[in-house]
Homo-oligomer: A and B are copies of this chain.
Amino acid sequence: MAVRSLDKPRPPELSGDRLTTDAAALVNDPDIDVVVELIGGIEPAGGLIVEALKAGKPVVTANKELLASAGGELSEVAAAVGLDLLYEASVAGAIPLIRPLRESLAGERIHRVMGIVNGTTNYILTRMSEDGVDYAAALAEAQNLGYAESDPTADVEGHDDSAKAAILASIAFGQDVVTGDVYREGITAVSPPDIAFARQLGYEIKLLAVAERVDEGGGRGRAEGEPLIAVRVHPAMVPRTHPLASVRDSFNAVFIEGEAVGELMLYGRGAGGRPTASAVLGDLIDAAHNLRAGGGGRAAVRARAHVHPIDQLRAQYYISIDVLDRPGVLAAVAAVFGEHQVSIRSMEQVGLGDEARLVFVTHTAVERDVQATLGGLARLDAVERVGGLLRVVGAEAEAG
């Protein structure tokens, strides 16, 4: 085992000659059959994985940052040498996810994958939803429990989810998707009134990583028949009857919609040392089995994905704006919606006077029109603040 420091106490104790600080020597050691990479980060992890594969050793890794930036290249190396590159632990910890997507659903045309894949933000949203605490208080609680880091940016701004979304999209659609392809919004703008109002309408707000196949629309240079893939991370309104709505606290779940399989959900612990270790161990046994049997090497060369831009997303939207409570305001606001062809499904005024807020849910609309609407609303004198924008997912949302 290669480690940074030989002196750090490690239960269970390993004899000294099992430890080294020289990772490069280890991946080239002919006595070693399989390499497990748990360093994290891009380098030296990436270089060591390539070296290990080229030295004939299958690799198990949990490194989501690396896979989400260079997964395509690493898969190519693994495919070239015909060896396993396994990474079940990289997304949703111990939930069997990568293997089912890659093997059990190998014959399936997958339409969409939607996941709650960050336990910290799900814990925060659960506390806000069920106990009415605000974001700052819920975050502080998550930090006290050790769910959130002292700098929570990677979780709450959706960076962690973006890497996982890229990995899920790559596997589900057989295309190379990287973090940079993922549209991203975090949960810091989600407010208790938005959550309360969403609940009143029959929805829970969840931070979702969504990857879906889109049949028509942009994608420069896309040939006939090549898939167009939308990948995004944002807080979404999920109908209470949807299985994802009941995924609470720090649990993770991934909901898969396929042509023949219908709807699937895989649920469990997304993080923590022991669940992650369980996933790594499952991969390790698989790699060892395949190596001995001469099999494995399911890694495939993937073409760069054609990514559907977020401004072409078609969805229903929840929009809240703080307004001055005076005659004529609604007419002015409605005119802005109409100007941009955004059709209103329901409107409700919450509060009065200085506290007046208008809450809208639209019919299916196109993102760029909704964004233009928000811009127009912000320019109205009577509008004090354009607040939450939430996309509705579930049965009603259409992508196209």
Contacts and interface: CB of A to CB of B under 8 A. Distances in A.
A261 to B, nearest CB: 4
Contacts of A94: 258, 260-262, 264
Interface in A259-289: 259-269, 272, 274-275, 277-279, 281-282, 284-286, 289
A248 to B, nearest CB: 8
A104 interface: yes
Contacts of A294: 293-295
A272 B260 CA distance: 10
A269 B262 contact: yes
A22 interface: no
Contact of A267 (B104, B264, B278): B264
Interface in A224-270: 243, 246, 258-269
Interface string A83-120: 00000100000111001100111111000000000000
Nearest to A266: B266
A199 interface: no
A28 interface: no
A99 B286 CA distance: 11
Contacts of A312: none
A260 B296 CA distance: 25
Interface in A114-154: none
A289 B285 CA distance: 18
A297 interface: yes
A104 B99 contact: yes
A216 to B, nearest CB: 24
Contact of A274 (B262, B265, B266, B274): B262
Contacts of A243: 246, 267
A243 B251 CA distance: 11
Contacts of A267: 243, 264-267
A278 B266 contact: no
A226 B138 CA distance: 46
Nearest to A284: B107
Contacts of A279: 104, 261
Contacts of A103: 96, 99, 282, 285-286
A290 interface: yes
A266 B281 CA distance: 20
- Lowest 5 A-B CB distances belong to which pairs? A295-B295, A107-B281, A96-B100, A96-B104, A293-B295
Given A261-B269, A295-B296, 9 more contacts: A94-B258, A96-B99, A104-B279, A107-B284, A260-B274, A262-B269, A263-B269, A264-B266, A264-B267
